[in-house]
């Protein structure tokens, strides 16, 4: 009999304990707020390659306007992963994603050629 009461009591404890543990929304909230700027430092845009300098890990691109960040301009970007240079040539139209790093340098994290358009 004692054993039955004990297991019943345990079952009740488990039942009532579980909802209390469902406080995970708070954990989710803190995970989100721990990194509120995760996307604020990255942008996606398109442009035309003007210069490629592998030895300096740099590539100069005339990029389109980036709303809320930059007007259309020609500027250098840094490339940390040399693989990203593969297949790129001056005058290529590209779409790319970059992040702002230390000292205002902009690092390309993904870049791909746009399909060549037929002559306008
Ligand atoms: Cu710019």
CA–centroid distance, residue 73 to ligand 1 (Å): 5
C-alpha 77/C-alpha 94 separation (Å) is 13
Buried b (16+ CB within 10 A) or exposed e, 21-42: eeeeeeeeeeeeeeeeeeeeee
| 56-71 tens-digit pLDDT | 999 999 999 999 999 9
**Can you give the residue range of the structural domain that contains 57?**
42-113
In a domain, 84, yes or no: yes
Q: How confident is the model at residue 4 (pLDDT cuts 50, 70, 90)?
A: low
Q: How confident is the model at residue 28 (pLDDT cuts 50, 70, 90)?
A: very low
Same domain, 55 and 109: yes
Regarding pTM above 0.75, the answer is no
C-alpha 36/C-alpha 53 separation (Å) is 34
Average pLDDT of the chain, as a whole number: 79
In a domain, 120, yes or no: no
CA–centroid distance, residue 89 to ligand 1 (Å): 20
- Provide the 8-state DSSP code for 22: T
Residue 21, pLDDT above cutoff 60 = no
CA–centroid distance, residue 35 to ligand 1 (Å): 25
CA–centroid distance, residue 16 to ligand 1 (Å): 57
Number of domains in the chain: 2
């Amino acid at each position: 009999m004692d054993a039955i009461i004990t297991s019943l009591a345990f079952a009740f404890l488990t039942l009532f304990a579980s909802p209390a543990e469902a406080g995970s929304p708070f954990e989710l909230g803190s995970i989100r707020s721990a990194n509120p700027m995760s996307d604020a430092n990255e942008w996606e845009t398109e442009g035309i390659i003007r210069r490629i300098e592998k030895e300096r890990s740099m590539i100069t691109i005339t990029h389109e306007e980036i709303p809320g960040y930059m007007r259309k301009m020609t500027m250098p970007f840094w490339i940390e992963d040399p693989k990203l240079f593969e297949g790129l040539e001056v005058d290529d139209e590209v779409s790319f994603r970059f992040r702002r790093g230390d000292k205002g340098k902009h690092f390309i994290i993904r870049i791909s050629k746009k399909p060549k358009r037929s002559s306008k």
